[in-house]
Amino acid sequence: AQRVTQPEKLLSVFKGAPVELKCNYSYSGSPELFWYVQYSRQRLQLLLRHISRESIKGFTADLNKGETSFHLKKPFAQEEDSAMYYCALSGGGAQKLVFGQGTRLTINP
Amino acid sequence: NAGVMQNPRHLVRRRGQEARLRCSPVKGHSHVYWYRQLPEEGLKFMVYLQKENIIDESGMPKERFSAEFPKEGPSILRIQQVVRGDSAAYFCASSPTGGAHYGYTFGSGTRLTVV
């Protein structure tokens, strides 16, 4: 079975501090992992994909197959990073995404 | 490019009524996905459709729920005889090809409230 766990429902950090949003997954094959973000009053949108190994808005995420994790990191948080973040998994050529419960990130000034 | 359009944004129905949720995908996208988000939970997959075909409905409740994506017009998620437990946000997403690896484009969602 495919499962995504985001252990923190809420995360609050100060501006300029490092941020790490945790994501663990359960899947027996080779997964594709994603981070989606929803800013206030906006639609859910793709932030980054593990296969593209890119940095978007200063965020990076590395797939750790040994720990079955895909944590999202940013070295210096900005106030505009405040949003809801969802980790998602797609496996085995399946078209559907399995989402975690989401983490609400608040950046304090 | 207007993106994925969902309507209505908010829908209130009494128990036992029918709810119809519409989704117009991004122009040129022929793959549509419906997700449901219950309060305090993540998005749960319901159904994946291509034009005129249901590809994967493994997340659809077995009764009262149906979905279609006709050759012309929007995709429709239909809930018959709604119950309070159907109250949720329903999101539609589209993609140009099947598969999640390029990411989906999501709509703003329809918030269904059953009273």
Instruction: Give residue-wise pLDDT tens across range A16-63.
Output: 999 999 999 999 888 889 999 999 988 999 999 887 778 889 999 989
Spatial distance between the Cα atoms of B51 and A90, rounded to a whole number of angstroms = 22
Which of A58-72, A86-100, B12-26 has the weakest average pLDDT?
A86-100
- Position B111 pLDDT exceeds 80: yes
Sort out which chain A residues have CB atoms less than 8 A from B100's CB and list them: 32, 34, 88, 90, 94-97
Sort out which chain B residues have CB atoms less than 8 A from A86's CB and list them: 42-43
**pLDDT for res B54:** 94
Query: Residue A33: closest CA among chain B residues belongs to which residue?
Result: B101
A91 in reach of chain B (CB within 8 A): no
Identify which of B5, B24, B12 has the alpha carbon closest to the alpha carbon of residue B86: B12
Model confidence over B65-93: pLDDT tens digits? 999 999 889 999 999 999 999 999 999 99
Number of Cβ within 10 Å of residue A88's Cβ equals 27
**pLDDT for res A28:** 83
Instruction: Tell me the nearest-neighbour CA distance from B5 into chain A, angstroms.
Output: 11
> Tell me, what DSSP letter sits at residue B85?
G
| Contact across the interface for B100 and A99, Cβ inside 8 Å | no
Q: B59 with A96: CB under 8 angstroms?
A: yes
DSSP β-bridge partners for residue B16: none
B34 in reach of chain A (CB within 8 A): no
Q: Specify the higher pLDDT residue, A33 or B103.
A: A33
**pLDDT for res B91:** 96
**pLDDT for res B1:** 56
**pLDDT for res A91:** 79
Structure tokens that stand for B51 in this block: 């034009």
DSSP β-bridge partners for residue A35: A48, A87
Spatial distance between the Cα atoms of A59 and A80, rounded to a whole number of angstroms = 13
**pLDDT for res A103:** 96
B57 in reach of chain A (CB within 8 A): no
B39 in reach of chain A (CB within 8 A): no
Sort out which chain B residues have CB atoms less than 8 A from A100's CB and list them: 42
**pLDDT for res A94:** 64
Identify which of A41, A54, A48 has the alpha carbon closest to the alpha carbon of residue A21: A48
Label residue B69 left, alpha or beta by phi (over 0 means left) and psi (-120 to 50 means alpha): beta
Q: Specify the higher pLDDT residue, A1 or A92.
A: A1
**pLDDT for res A96:** 84
| Contact across the interface for B100 and A46, Cβ inside 8 Å | no
Spatial distance between the Cα atoms of B96 and B83, rounded to a whole number of angstroms = 34
> Tell me, what DSSP letter sits at residue B52?
T
In chain A, what percentage of residues exceed pLDDT 90?
72
Assign A93 a pLDDT band (cuts: 50, 70, 90).
low
| Contact across the interface for B104 and A51, Cβ inside 8 Å | no
